[in-house]
C-alpha cells in the first residue's frame, strides 16, 4: 500500500535486462532496456501500469485522522503565509480531524479552486510544509499536501461543488488559456455572475495539469475530472482549438467582451544553442511529456536507450524519471549550475535519483554528436562564480540516442501591443488582465497561477461592477 | 534496584501495583495472567450474595473518549458486579491464592444493606484464605438502583454501619472503596474511619455519559437505542482522584487512614504522584484494559529507577507531598513569577500568543518574524501559555527574586504573606 516507502526497484518494475533469460517469459515485450535507439515496448506490458500508478498514494480515513491530529492549529499560521493561495490550512485540517472533510474541502476550494491538483503537484516541501512549525520542531511537517488531497478527494467523490453563481451581471469575459490561471479566473468570474468564454488552443482544457506534469502525479484522468468538476459552477463555455493570434485577435476579443484575461502560459521553448541541436532524437521535454500524458498505451511510446535531459527544473525531472519508467537503460540530467541552483526542489531531485536517474551538475552541452541522429552529447564543465558562469576546458561525452531539452519555456504568441517586461506580460492594461506563467512575477507553479487567476477575477469583477 | 515490596495494612505484595476490582480480575484465567505479568495483587471483581448471579447487558458495556491518535483518555462502563456463580468465584480465589502466595488477594464485596447479608458473605469467603476485603460502596450504575454500591457510599451513616458489621463478623483487613459522586470526600472517608475501616480506596468511577450518537440520539454506550450513565475512569479522572486522596491524607479527621489510590494510574509516574499524595499503594484498571497486563513491568522499572535516582525508600515517597497541599488562603501572595520563552526551543506556532491575547492578559508580544516574547509588565504568570505550548519546557515560569521590582505592579517582591493578612481581605480589615 505505502509504495513510497518501498525501495525503488520493489516499487517499480525496471525489468533488469539480465532477468529476461531466466525463464519467466515476457511475451509482449518486443524490446528491452538494452535495445539501441528510440523504441517502444522496452518493458513487459504489466510494468507500465505499475510504473505510472499513483506516485504518492492517497491517505485513507484512518491515516488522514492520524496525520490531522499532528496539526497544532497555529496562530496566524506560517503555512497559510507560505501558500500562494493562502488556504486556511489549520482550519481545514481541524475540519478533517473532526470528521468533516467536506467542510475542509470547502475551506480549500474557497481559496484555491484547483486544490485537488495542487495537493498532488505542489512542491509542498518548499511551501506550506517547509513553513510548518513541526518541520522546525521535528523535521517532520504535518502532511498538508496529502491531507488536502484527502479532503478534496472525499468531497469530489461525493459530488459536492459547494459554490453557486451570484445573480447574472450581464457582463461577458473572455479568458484565453484553459490552464490553472484561466480556469481559476473563469470559476471566480462565473461565481460573481459573469458569463465566461474560455479559449484554449489545445484539444483539451487543463493546461499543464493535462499536458505538462508527470503522469504519476495525476493518475486516473484527474486533471480532466477536475476541469469537469470546476465547470459545474455554470456560466463557463470552453472553446478548444482556438488560438490567440491565429484564430482570434486580442483586439477582436476586447471589442466583443467586457474584459479579457490572458493566461496563455509559456508556449515557446528555449534553444540549446549547441551544435547539432537539430539532429534526430533531440526534442523538447515538454513535447515528450505532453505526448506521454496523452498516450493511451504507454508501451507504444518510444524512448531512447540512453537518455540525456538538459535542464534543472521540474520539467527536466519529470522527463527524466518518466524516461526511466518507460524502460530507458540510462537516464542522465545535466544541469549547468550546482545542485542548490536547480529549480527542481530537493524532494524532486531526490525522487529522480531514487528513480535511477543520474544528475550531473556544472556542465553545459557543446555539441550533439552523431551521423544525422543523436548518438552522444559532448559537455564541458562549468564554474559558477561572481562574474557568472565560465566554461572550463575539461569536456566529457555521454552516450545519448535521445536528448531532451528542458532549459525553460518562454512566452510565444503574445500580442505585440502588450507591455512585455522581462520577457513576460505585465497587466492590467485597459480591459486586459494577465496571470499564470505568462505573467510577470511569481514562481512558475500551478498554485501561483491559480492565485493570479483568482485575483485577476476579483480585480475584473471590481472593475466591471464599479 | 529499589525495594518495591509493599505492606499495606498488613497485606504484603511484591510491589504496590494492584489490579482494581473490575473486569480484569473477574476470574482465575485473567488473574493468573496478571500475576504472571508481575502485578503485586488483585482486588477480585465484586462478589454479590449467594443466589442467582446478576446479569449484564448483551450490548456495549464501555464508552470512551480519545485524544490525539485515538489515545484512550477516558473510559466508562455499565458492567455490573460479577455475573458468575459465587461458588465458582470462591473456588477460583482459593486456588489462585494458594498458587500465588506472595501476591495480595483482596475480595471486593457488595451485598444488600443488612447485617445478615454481610455476615453471610463474610462467612462464605473466610475459607478462601484471601488477604482482605474491599467494600464496594462505589459503583454508580445498576447496583445503586438496587440500594447497593454508591447508594450506600453516598450516605456516610450507611458506610459507618456496614463497616462496623464487617469488622464485627470478619478477621480480615477491611478496605472501604469510596465513590467520588459526592460533594465532600471527607464525609464518607470519615465514616469509614469511624466504622473501623483499616483503609479506604478511591476513587470508584464517576457518573458519566461519554458521548451521544448524533444519528440515533442515544447516549453511548448504546443498548437498543437507549443509554444510561456509566462509571468514568482512566487518565481523565486522575486529577479528580488525586485531589480526593490528598484531602483525606491532609485533613485532621482522616489523617493517617491508609489509602489505596485509584483513578487513571497509567504509568509509574501516576503511581508515584498518588503515593506522594498519601496513597500507600495504587490500584489500576483502565491502563491494563487499554494496553494489557504487561504495563506493570514499566511501572515496576520506572518506580524503581525513580526511587534509586532520588535515593529514597518507597516509604519515604508515601505522603511526601501532603504537607505541600494547602488551602488557597495560605498561598504566598508575594510569590511573583514571569513566563519566559526559550527562543531556542520555540517553534513559533504562536499558540501562547493566541491564548494570551484572546483569553488572558495580552502579555505576549509577536514580532513580524514570529518571535514571541513575554511582556513582563503585563504577565500575571497565569501559566496558560505553558499549558498550551506544544514544546515541553519551552515556556517556563521564572520566580522573581525577593526585593526585585515587579514591572507589572511596580512593587518590590516581599516576604511570604497570604490572604489571611492581606489588606483586601474584609475579615482582616474588620479587625
What per-residue confidence (pLDDT) applies to A19?
40
Across B177-204, average pLDDT:
97
Q: Which tens digits make up the pLDDT trace of A187-202?
A: 999 999 999 999 999 9
Read off the pLDDT band of B69 (50, 70, 90).
Answer: confident
The answer for A32, left when phi > 0, alpha when psi is -120 to 50, beta otherwise, is beta
Sign, CA dihedral B239-B244-B245-B246, equals positive
- Indicate the length of chain A as a whole number: 466
DSSP codes, B354-385 = HHHHHHS---EEE-TT--EEE-TTT-----HH
- Is the confidence at residue A73, as pLDDT, over 80? yes
Report pLDDT digits (tens) over B4-25.
999 999 999 999 999 999 999 9
Residue in A189, A74, A146, A163 with CA at minimum distance from that of residue A110: A163
Confidence of residue A26 (pLDDT cuts 50, 70, 90): very low
How many CA atoms lie within 13 Å of B286's alpha carbon, on the beta-carbon side? 29
Please report the pLDDT score of residue A3 as a whole number: 39
A137 in contact with chain B, both atoms CB, cutoff 8 A:
yes
Q: Is the pLDDT of residue A21 over 90?
A: no
Nearest CA in chain B to A77: B349
Give catalytic status of residue B356 as yes or no.
no
Contact present, B185 and B204 (Cβ < 8 Å): no
Mean pLDDT (chain A) is: 91
Mean pLDDT along residues A125-154: 96
Phi, psi of B372 (to 5 degrees): -110, 125
- How far apart are the two ends of chain B, measured CA to CA in Å? 57
pLDDT at B148: 83
Cα nearest neighbour of B389 on chain A:
A72
User: What's the whole-number mean pLDDT along residues B254-272?
Assistant: 97
**Interchain contact B348–A (C-beta under 8 A):** yes
Question: Does the predicted TM-score (pTM) go above 0.90?
Answer: no
Q: Where are the beta strands (DSSP E) in B127-218?
A: 132-136, 174-177, 199-202, 206-208, 211-212
Establish if B390 touches chain A: CB-CB under 8 angstroms: yes
pLDDT-derived band at A14, boundaries 50, 70, 90: very low
B52/B75 Cα distance (integer angstroms): 29
Mean pLDDT score, A314-327: 96
Closest CA to B176 of B79, B248, B251, B128: B248
**A262 phi and psi angles, rounded to 5 deg:** -105, 115
Residue A100, beta-bridge partner list: none
Considering only A140-144, B66-70, B331-335, which range has the smallest mean pLDDT?
Answer: B66-70
User: How far is Cα A441 from Cα B173, in angstroms, rounded to an integer?
Assistant: 83
Res. A28: pLDDT tops 90: no
Phi-psi region of B353 (alpha: psi -120 to 50; beta: other; left: phi over 0): alpha
| Rounded Cα distance, A275 and B231, in Å | 83
| Residue-range domains of chain B with CATH | 6-324 (3.20.20.70), 331-430 (3.30.70.20)
- Mean pLDDT in residue range A35-49: 93
Name the residue among B69, B354, B390 with its Cβ closest to that of A66.
Answer: B69
Percentage, residues of chain B above pLDDT 70:
99
- The pLDDT confidence band at residue A441, using thresholds 50, 70 and 90, is confident
**Mean pLDDT throughout B404-430?**
92
Counting Cβ atoms within 10 Å, is residue B308 exposed (0-12), middle (13-18) or buried (19+)?
exposed
E strands, B223-300, in order: 230-233, 259-262, 279-284
Cβ–Cβ < 8 Å for A249, A413: no
Whether the CA torsion B177, B183, B184, B190 is positive or negative: it is negative
Residues in B closer than 8 angstroms to A137, CB to CB, are: 347, 390-391
Inform me whether the pLDDT recorded for A16 exceeds 50. no
CA distance A195 to chain B (A): 41
Q: What is the pLDDT of residue B430?
A: 57
Model confidence pLDDT, tens digit, residues B48-66: 999 999 999 999 999 999 9
Q: In whole angstroms, what is the distance from residue B280 CA to residue B321 CA? A: 13
DSSP string of A414-464, one letter each residue = --TTS-EETTEE---BTTEEE-STTBSSS-S-HHHHHHHHHHHHHHHHHHH
**CA dist., res. B265 & res. B163, Å (int):** 27
Radius of gyration (C-alpha) of chain B in whole angstroms: 25
Parallel, antiparallel or unpaired: strands B72-77 and B230-233? antiparallel
- Please write the tens of the pLDDT for every residue from A398-437: 999 999 999 999 998 888 777 787 888 888 889 999 999 9
Query: Closest approach of chain B CAs to the CA of A92, in angstroms?
Result: 17
If one compares A21 and A241, the residue with the highest pLDDT of the two is A241
Query: Could you give the dihedral angle defined by the CA atoms of residues B89, B93, B99 and B101, in that order, rounded to the nearest 10 degrees?
Result: 170
| pLDDT band (50, 70, 90) for residue A22 | very low
Strands (DSSP E) found in A306-436: 306-311, 330-334, 358-360, 363-369, 376-385, 388-399, 402-406, 409-410, 420-421, 424-425, 432-434
Predicted ipTM beyond 0.85 = no
At B181, which helix (H) or strand (E)? Answer: none
**Chain A contact for B370 (CB, 8 A cutoff):** yes
Q: What average pLDDT score do residues A128-151 get?
A: 97
| Predicted pLDDT at B147 | 83
Listed in sequence order, the residues at least 6 apart from B221 whose beta carbon sits closer than 8 Å to its beta carbon are B59, B60, B61, B62, B63, B76, B78, B210, B227, B230
Q: How confident is the model at residue A7 (pLDDT cuts 50, 70, 90)?
A: very low
Q: What's the mean per-residue pLDDT of chain B? A: 96
DSSP class per residue in A80-147: HHHSTT---HHHHHHHHHTT-HHHHHHHHHHH-TTHHHHHHHS-GGGTHHHH-HHHHHHS----HHHH
Tell me the pairing of strands A424-425 and B132-136.
Answer: unpaired
User: Which of A65, A75, A133 is the best residue to mutate to test the B interface, defined by the most B CB atoms within 10 Å of its own CB?
Assistant: A75
Would you call B5 helix, strand, or coil by DSSP? coil
Q: Residue range A440-455: average pLDDT?
A: 91
pLDDT in tens, A260-315: 999 999 999 998 889 999 999 999 999 999 999 999 999 999 999 999 999 999 99
Q: Is the pLDDT of residue A442 over 70?
A: no
Instruction: Give the lowest-confidence range in A19-28, A34-43, A151-160.
Output: A19-28
The one catalytic residue among B139, B233, B285, B379: B139
pLDDT one-digit tens code per residue, A234-263:
999 999 999 999 999 999 999 999 999 999
Tell me, yes or no, if A140 comes closer than 8 A to chain B by beta carbon. Answer: no
Determine, for residues B347 and A134 on separate chains, whether the beta-carbon distance falls below 8 Å.
Answer: yes
Query: Are B69 and A136 a contacting pair at CB < 8 A?
Result: no
Contact B353 A75 (CB under 8 A): yes
Rounded CA separation B132/B41 (Å)? 11
CA-nearest residue to A74 within chain B is: B349
Instruction: State the smallest CA–CA distance between residue B371 and chain A in angstroms.
Output: 12
Amino acid at each position: 500500500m505505502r509504495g513510497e516507502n518501498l525501495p525503488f526497484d520493489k516499487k517499480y518494475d525496471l525489468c533488469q535486462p539480465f532477468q529476461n533469460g531466466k525463464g519467466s517469459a515476457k511475451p509482449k515485450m518486443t524490446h528491452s532496456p538494452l535495445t539501441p535507439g528510440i523504441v517502444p515496448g522496452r518493458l513487459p506490458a504489466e510494468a507500465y501500469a505499475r510504473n505510472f500508478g499513483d506516485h504518492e498514494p492517497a491517505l485513507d480515513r484512518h491515516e488522514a485522522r492520524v496525520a490531522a491530529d499532528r496539526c497544532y492549529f497555529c496562530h496566524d499560521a506560517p503555512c497559510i503565509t507560505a501558500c500562494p493561495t493562502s488556504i486556511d490550512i489549520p482550519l481545514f485540517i481541524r475540519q478533517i480531524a473532526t470528521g468533516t472533510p467536506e467542510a475542509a474541502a470547502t475551506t480549500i476550494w474557497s481559496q484555491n479552486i484547483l486544490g485537488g491538483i495542487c495537493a498532488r503537484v505542489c512542491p509542498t516541501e518548499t511551501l506550506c510544509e517547509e513553513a510548518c512549525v513541526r518541520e522546525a520542531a521535528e523535521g517532520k511537517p504535518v502532511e498538508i499536501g496529502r491531507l488536502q488531497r484527502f479532503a478534496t478527494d472525499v468531497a469530489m467523490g461525493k459530488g459536492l461543488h459547494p459554490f453557486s453563481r451570484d445573480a447574472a451581471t450581464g457582463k461577458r469575459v473572455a479568458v484565453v488559456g484553459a490552464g490553472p490561471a484561466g480556469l481559476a479566473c473563469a470559476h471566480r468570474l462565473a461565481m460573481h455572475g459573469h458569463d465566461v468564454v474560455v479559449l484554449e488552443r489545445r484539444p483539451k482544457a487543463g493546461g499543464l495539469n493535462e499536458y505538462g506534469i508527470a503522469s504519476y502525479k495525476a493518475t486516473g484522468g484527474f486533471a480532466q475530472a477536475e476541469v469537469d468538476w470546476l465547470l459545474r459552477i455554470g456560466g463557463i463555455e470552453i472553446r478548444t482549438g482556438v488560438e490567440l493570434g491565429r484564430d482570434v485577435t486580442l483586439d477582436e476579443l476586447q471589442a466583443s467582451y467586457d474584459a479579457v484575461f490572458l493566461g496563455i502560459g509559456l508556449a515557446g521553448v528555449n534553444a540549446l544553442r549547441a551544435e547539432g541541436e537539430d539532429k534526430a532524437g533531440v526534442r523538447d521535454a515538454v513535447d515528450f511529456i505532453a505526448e506521454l500524458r496523452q498516450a493511451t498505451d504507454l508501451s507504444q511510446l518510444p524512448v531512447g536507450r540512453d537518455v540525456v535531459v538538459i535542464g534543472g527544473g521540474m520539467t527536466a525531472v519529470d522527463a527524466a524519471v518518466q524516461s526511466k519508467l518507460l524502460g530507458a537503460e540510462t537516464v542522465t540530467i545535466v544541469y549547468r549550475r550546482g545542485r542548490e541552483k536547480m529549480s527542481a526542489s530537493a524532494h524532486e531531485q531526490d525522487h529522480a535519483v531514487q528513480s535511477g536517474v543520474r544528475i550531473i551538475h556544472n556542465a553545459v552541452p557543446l555539441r550533439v554528436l552523431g551521423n544525422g541522429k543523436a548518438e552522444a552529447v559532448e559537455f564541458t564543465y562549468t564554474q559558477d562564480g561572481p562574474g557568472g558562469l565560465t566554461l572550463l576546458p575539461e569536456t566529457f561525452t555521454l552516450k545519448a540516442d535521445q536528448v531532451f531539452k528542458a532549459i525553460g519555456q518562454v512566452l510565444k504568441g503574445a500580442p505585440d501591443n502588450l507591455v512585455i517586461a522581462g520577457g513576460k506580460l505585465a497587466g492590467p492594461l485597459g480591459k486586459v488582465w494577465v496571470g499564470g506563467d505568462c505573467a510577470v512575477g511569481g514562481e512558475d507553479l500551478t498554485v501561483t497561477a491559480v492565485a493570479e487567476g483568482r485575483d485577476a477575477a476579483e480585480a475584473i469583477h471590481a472593475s466591471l461592477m464599479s | 534496584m529499589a525495594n518495591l515490596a509493599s505492606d499495606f495494612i498488613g497485606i504484603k505484595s511484591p510491589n504496590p501495583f494492584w489490579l482494581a476490582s473490575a473486569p480484569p480480575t473477574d476470574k482465575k484465567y485473567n488473574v493468573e495472567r496478571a500475576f504472571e505479568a508481575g502485578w503485586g495483587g488483585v482486588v477480585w471483581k465484586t462478589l454479590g450474595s449467594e443466589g442467582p448471579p446478576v446479569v449484564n447487558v448483551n450490548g456495549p458495556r464501555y464508552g470512551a473518549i480519545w485524544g490525539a491518535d485515538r489515545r484512550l483518555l477516558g473510559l466508562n462502563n455499565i458492567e455490573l458486579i460479577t455475573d458468575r456463580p459465587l461458588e465458582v468465584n470462591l473456588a477460583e480465589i482459593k486456588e489462585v491464592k494458594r498458587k500465588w502466595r506472595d501476591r495480595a488477594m483482596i475480595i471486593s464485596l457488595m451485598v444488600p444493606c443488612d447485617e445478615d447479608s454481610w455476615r453471610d458473605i463474610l462467612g462464605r469467603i473466610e475459607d478462601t484464605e484471601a488477604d482482605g476485603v474491599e467494600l464496594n460502596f462505589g459503583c454508580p450504575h445498576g447496583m445503586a438502583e438496587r440500594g447497593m454500591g454508591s447508594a450506600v457510599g453516598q450516605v456516610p451513616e450507611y458506610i459507618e454501619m456496614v463497616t462496623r458489621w464487617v469488622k464485627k463478623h470478619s478477621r480480615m483487613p477491611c478496605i472501604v472503596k469510596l465513590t467520588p459522586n459526592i460533594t465532600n470526600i471527607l464525609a464518607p472517608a470519615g465514616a469509614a474511619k469511624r466504622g473501623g475501616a483499616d483503609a479506604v480506596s478511591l476513587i470508584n468511577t464517576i457518573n458519566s455519559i461519554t458521548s451521544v450518537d448524533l444519528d440515533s440520539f442515544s447516549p453511548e454506550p448504546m443498548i437498543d437505542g437507549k443509554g444510561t450513565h456509566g462509571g468514568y475512569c482512566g487518565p481523565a479522572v486522575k486529577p479528580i482522584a488525586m485531589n480526593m486522596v490528598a484531602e483525606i491524607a491532609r485533613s485532621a479527621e482522616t489523617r493517617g487512614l491508609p489509602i489505596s489510590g485509584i483513578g487513571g494510574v497509567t504509568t509509574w509516574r501516576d503511581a508515584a504522584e498518588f503515593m506522594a499524595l498519601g496513597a500507600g499503594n495504587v490500584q489500576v484498571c483502565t491502563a491494563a484494559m487499554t494496553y494489557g497486563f504487561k504495563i506493570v513491568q514499566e511501572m515496576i522499572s520506572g518506580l524503581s529507577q525513580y526511587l534509586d535516582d532520588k535515593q529514597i525508600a518507597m516509604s519515604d515517597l508515601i505522603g511526601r507531598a501532603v504537607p505541600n497541599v494547602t488551602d488557597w488562603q495560605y498561598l504566598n501572595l508575594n510569590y511573583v513569577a514571569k513566563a519566559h520563552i526559550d527562543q531556542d526551543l520555540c517553534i513559533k506556532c504562536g499558540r501562547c500568543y493566541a491564548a494570551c491575547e484572546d483569553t488572558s492578559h495580552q502579555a505576549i508580544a509577536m514580532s513580524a518574524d514570529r518571535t514571541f516574547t513575554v511582556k513582563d509588565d503585563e504577565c500575571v504568570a497565569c501559566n496558560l501559555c505553558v499549558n498550551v505550548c506544544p514544546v515541553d519546557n519551552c515556556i517556563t515560569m521564572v520566580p522573581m527574586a525577593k526585593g526585585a521590582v515587579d514591572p507589572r505592579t511596580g512593587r518590590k517582591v516581599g516576604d511570604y504573606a497570604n490572604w489571611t493578612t492581606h489588606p483586601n481581605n474584609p475579615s482582616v480589615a474588620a479587625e
